[in-house]
Amino acid sequence: MAAHAIHAAGPLRKRLLPAWQRLERGFDQVFGANANPLRQLGGLGFLFFAWLLLSGIYLFAMLDSSATAAYASIARLERLPWSAGGWLRGVHRYAADAFVLVMLLHLLREWLLGRYQGFRRYSWLTGVPLLLFVFISGVVGFWLNWDRLGQYSAVATAEWLDALPIFATPLARNFLNVAAVGDRLFSLFIFIHLGLPLLLLFGLWFHIQRLTLAAVLPPRGLALRASLGLLMLAGMAPVRSQGQADLTQLGGALNFDWFLLFLHPLTDAIGAAPVWALLLGVMLSLFALPFLAGRGGPLPARHTAEVDPANCNGCRRCVVDCPYAAVTMVPHPDWQTPGRPIRQLAQVDADLCASCGICVGACPSATPFRSGVDLLTGIDMPQQPLDGLRRRLEAGLAALAGPHKFVVIGCERGPRGEHEAAADVLTLNLICTGMLPPSFIEYALRGGAAGVVISGCLEGDCAFRFGQRWTEQRLSGQREPRLRASVPREQVLLAWPSPAQPRAVSAALQRLRSAAAGRPAAGTFEESPA
C-alpha cells in the first residue's frame, strides 16, 4: 500500500511544486528572501519549541500533580493580576499549535522539493518519528488541566486505542467514574507529557547532527516578529479552562484545538478502524518514501567528490566548508614516506556527499594558475572537473567577439536570463556557485575578460545551504581561499537574483559594460603570466 501511495504521489508533487514556489516568491517580496518564514520553517520550529519549554517549566511549577487538585491549581493561574495565568497558558498553547503548523509545512516543503533521497535520507528518516512524539505529548498535555476538554480528549483517545485488539482490559474503563481517575493515572499523564519532549529534543539533535552549522533559530528579525506575534496572540486571546471534568456528564460545546486534537472528530466521523488505517498508511508511506521513490526530482544523479592523495595537503578547508559533514580527515597513506610531511588526507563519505562541489571551491590547490597541461586538484567533482572549467573558460573567451568580453559564472539551479544569448558574454554554470575557486575570477580577467559577474540561486535560497554565503566571504576576503587584493573589485560583481531584482545579472552586466567603455580592451591568456 505504501509503495502504491508513493508512486501515485509523484505526479501530485510535480503539480504542486510550481504553486509552492510561486507562494515562496510572493513571501519573498513581502519579507525578503532571508526572512521569508517559508524558507525558515526549521528554525521557526526550534523557536516555538523553545517557547514551549520555557512556558511549560513555569506551568509545571504551578501545577498540583494530583488528580483531584490539578484543575484548581490551574484555575488559580487565571486569577493572577492582568490575567497573567491565562496569558502564560496561551503562550504554551499557541506555541504548541505554531510548532505543529511549521513542522507540517516543513515536511510538506521538503517533500515537494524532493529532499528525502540520497544524502538527505538520514534527516528525513530521523524527522518522521518526531511527528508522533509531538502529537502524543501535545494531546496528553490537554489532560493535565483535567477540564471538560481534557476529559473529552482522554476518553476519546482511550476508546480509539481500544479499537486495537492488544489490551486485555479496555482502557476506557479508567474513565467510568471519578474514582477511577486517581493520582497514579495522573502521574502517567505527567510522565508522558514531560518525557516525550525530552525524547523529542534528543531526536531533534539526531535530525540536524549531519548538517554543518545547522541554524536552530531563524534570523533575528524573523525570530523577534514571530515571538512578538505569539505573545500578542496569547494576550489578546488568553486560554481559559472549560469547566472542571465531570465523568458523570459527557458532551457539550467545547472550544476545540484543531491543530492537536483533530483525530477525535475524525474518529467520530468515520470510525476508529479507518483512522488507524489512515494513520498507519501515512506513517509507513513517509518511512518508505526514501527507499521506494524513483530517482527523478529536482536533483540530478549524484557523483561523489573525489580526493587525489597526490594533491591533497591535509589543510581541512573542505572539512570546514562542507554543508553536510561529508568530508573528514584520515591518516595519509604516504605520511611515513621520507620527505613527505603531509600526515592527513581528506576522505568523502559517499552516503553524505551532496555532489555540490563546495569542497572544490575551498581547496587551495584548485587554482587555474597551476602549471601542467591538466589541472589536477586535491578534491574535484568527476562530472564537472575544474580542468574542464579552465578549458571552457579559455576557449569561450577566445571565441567571443568585440573589444570587451564578460563572464557570468552561475549555478545549474539558478534562473536563466537573456544574458546567456549576448554576443559579448560567456556563461559558465557550475553545480553550485560555491564550487568556484576565487582564483578563476582573476584568471578570467587576466585572460581577456573586462568583467566577471557571479550569480546563482535566488538570494537566500541556495540549494546547498552555504554556496552563496561562502562565495561572498571568499570574495570579500573573510574566508579562505580569498580573492587576492590585487584583483580590481570594480570588475567583479555579485548578483543574486531575487523577486525584487529578477534581472540582477543583466543589471550587473550593464554596469560592467558602462565601466569598460572607458577602459582599453583587456589582454589575453597568452599575454598574461601564468
What DSSP character marks residue 453?
A: E
Confidence of residue 371 (pLDDT cuts 50, 70, 90): confident
Domains held by the chain: number: 2
For cell 563546495, what's the residue? Answer: 358
Q: Taking 70 as the threshold, does the pLDDT of residue 162 lie above it?
A: yes
- What's the pLDDT at 295? 45
Which structural domain range is residue 367 located in?
Answer: 306-516
Q: Looking at the structure, do residues 325 and 251 belong to the same domain, yes or no?
A: no
Query: Is 32 among the domain residues?
Result: no
How far is it, in rounded angstroms, from Cα 169 to Cα 173? 8
Mean pLDDT estimate for the chain: 89
The whole-angstrom separation of Cα 153 and Cα 140 is 8
338 and 217 within one domain: no
CATH number at residue 142: 1.20.810.10
pLDDT (tens digit per residue) in 127-159: 999 999 999 999 999 999 899 999 999 999 999
CA 12 to the chain's CA centroid: 22
Instruction: Write out pLDDT tens, residues 67-125.
Output: 888 898 888 887 776 556 778 899 999 999 999 999 999 999 999 998 998 889 999 99
Whether residue 249 is found in the same domain as residue 315: no
519-529 mean pLDDT: 51
> Residues 422, 390: one domain?
yes
Question: Do 157 and 139 touch, CB atoms closer than 8 A?
Answer: yes
- Tell me the CA distances in angstroms from 361 to 201, 230, 253, 470, 476, one per residue in order: 35, 42, 62, 9, 15
R_g of the chain computed on alpha carbons: 29
364 domain residue, yes or no: yes
Are residues 319 and 266 both part of a single domain? Answer: no
For the segment 2-32, what is each residue's pLDDT rounded down to a tens digit?
455 555 567 888 899 999 989 998 998 899 8
For 92-123, give the DSSP string: HHHHHHHHHHHHHHHHHHHHHTTTTSGGGHHH
Q: Where does the pLDDT of residue 296 fall: very low under 50, low under 70, confident under 90, or very high at 90 and above?
A: very low
The answer to whether residue 459 sits within a structural domain is yes
Classify residue 75 by burial, with Cβ atoms within 10 Å: 0-12, 13-18, 19+. Answer: middle
- pLDDT over 60 (residue 492): yes
Lowest mean pLDDT among 80-89, 266-275, 395-404, 405-414: 80-89
| Higher-scoring residue by pLDDT: 491, 251 | 491
Same domain, 169 and 226: yes
Hey, what's the cell of 405?
A: 568580453
User: What DSSP letter does each residue of 187-211 carry, written as one string?
Assistant: HHHHHHHHHHHHHHHHHHHHHHTTS
138 and 208 together in one domain: yes
Please confirm whether the linkage preceding 274 is cis (ω < 30° from 0).
Answer: no
**Domain closes at, from 238, 261, 292:** 292
- The string of DSSP letters for 272-303 reads HHHHHHHHHHHHHHHHHHHHHS-S-SSS----
For residues 453 and 311, membership in a common domain is answered with: yes
* First-residue to last-residue Cα distance in the chain: 62
